[in-house]
Amino acid sequence: MSGVWGNKIKFSIFGESHGFAIGITIDGLKPGVKLDLEDINREMKRRAPGQNKISTARNEKDEFEILSGYFNERTTGTPLCAIIRNSDKRSKDYEKMKNIMRPSHADYTGHIKYSGFNDYRGGGHFSGRITAPIVFAGAVAKQILKSEGIVIGSHIKSIHYIEEDNFDYINVKEELLNKLSHKVFPSIDDDIGIKMQKEILKAKEEKDSLGGVVECAVLNLPTGIGSPFFNSVESVLSHLIFSIPAVKGVEFGAGFQISKMKGSQANDELYIESESGGIKTYSNNNGGILGGITNSMPLIFRVAFKPTPSISKVQRTINIEKKENTTIEIEGRHDPCIVQRAVPVVEAVTAMGILDLISI
């Protein structure tokens, strides 16, 4: 397998959920970039487990250690490598069911792909735990992008059937994105956010789980980033977004709803701003991208996450060693809904993708 992604900036992830540590190496960063480690730590805590009742009880601090590529508060130009040690592991929870394939997990496909040699504890390299170093890389990328005025932020659009309004596609405010990044549960409407959290807790009591949608916005992108076909902004970001465990869908701008519009409704008509002389569009159904290239409007997209597959209900499955049908009742510590903790991960891969596109 390859855990490497990127063109000018290369990101290489490593580690397993219950191994000694997980980490990432970033190759291609310019020397002299000043990093705010406190801000990186804040981003890490946004994703960290064990913070509230709607999160897994696994108590990982997600504290990072930079091993190389950083000296006197700045990048050196050599590969930047950081690790996050795994401290709260209960590997014995997985020993007794190592041959029992958990439904909707990568147990079966991983077993076949790697001939049974894969680390099955906590999902091994398939685990959402591996998104912690991705958040580290994304935090570094966000700081570099912010120095260019580019801002990334997200909110929880929906949990199960409870949903709030979309971002304003035309006038998303930087202040709103910053406010959301400091919320434990980043919904725009706090009342709807409370309803979402209650729905998650209800599913947890029922030994079940829920999925949801994260909506992300990128502001102040200059016109001209990306290229048609294989290196379009959509294809680059989609590649990274679908690398996040549990992602099952992504849509840009109006997304699937645009298929229900007429051309006269869907088209984003252009105008020249009287004050700045910049070119804008009256609507933003294309989500800030035309022909795979940014057009200076807010880049808007939504990401759909499936319900957490680890649930405590009895489920039908197979014993891969005995080649027989059986049942499983999953034990251990699991999120009843991963969407809350996935928000900074979506922002992280977005920052990684945009940084690489700008660097090309």
pTM over 0.75: yes
Which of 69, 81, 79, 82 minimizes the C-alpha distance to 9?
A: 79
What's the confidence (pLDDT) of residue 119? Answer: 86
- Position 161, amino acid: Y
List residues forming the annotated binding site. Answer: 47, 53, 125-127, 291, 306-310, 333
Q: What is the CA radius of gyration of the chain?
A: 21
pLDDT of residue 120: 86
The angle subtended at Cα 325 by Cα 322 and Cα 329, nearest 5°, is 105
For 122, other C-beta atoms within 10 Å of its C-beta total 24
Two tokens, residue 155: 């909110």
Task: Please give the pLDDT value at position 141.
Answer: 98
46 Cβ contact partners less than 8 Å away, ≥ 6 residues apart: 135, 181, 341, 343, 344
Q: Which domains does the chain have, with CATH numbers?
A: 4-359 (3.60.150.10)
Q: Which residues are annotated as a binding site for NADP(+)?
A: 47, 53
Buried b (16+ CB within 10 A) or exposed e, 295-305: bbbbbbbbbbb
pLDDT in the model for residue 88: 63
Token pair belonging to 308: 């957490």
Q: Which amino acid is it at 123?
A: G
Q: Enumerate the known binding-site residues for FMN.
A: 125-127, 291, 306-310, 333
- For 73, counting Cβ atoms within 10 Å of its Cβ (0-12 exposed, 13-18 middle, 19+ buried), the class is exposed
- Residue 276's Cα: distance from chain center in Å? 34
Tens digit of pLDDT per residue, the chain (360 long)? 679 999 999 999 999 988 899 999 999 999 999 999 999 999 999 999 876 778 665 567 889 999 999 999 999 999 999 999 998 656 566 677 789 999 999 999 999 999 988 888 878 888 889 999 999 999 999 999 999 999 999 999 999 999 999 999 999 999 999 999 999 999 999 999 999 999 999 999 999 999 999 999 999 999 999 999 999 999 999 999 999 999 999 999 999 999 999 999 999 999 999 888 899 999 999 999 999 999 999 999 999 999 999 999 999 999 999 999 999 998 777 899 999 999 999 999 999 999 999 986
Residue 209: the pLDDT is 96
The whole-number pLDDT of residue 176 equals 98
Task: Supply the pLDDT for residue 61.
Answer: 80
Distance CA 299, CA 302 (A): 11
Long-range contacts formed by 28-33: CB under 8 A, 24+ apart:
28/359, 29/69, 29/75, 29/77, 29/80, 29/140, 29/144, 30/75, 30/77, 31/74, 31/75, 31/76, 31/77, 32/74, 32/75, 32/77, 33/74, 33/75, 33/143, 33/144
Q: What residue has token string 């801002």? A: 151
Residues 6+ apart with CB under 8 A from 198: none
Contacts of 98 (CB under 8 A, 6+ apart): 120
What is the spatial distance between Cα 224 and Cα 329, in angstroms, rounded to a whole number?
52
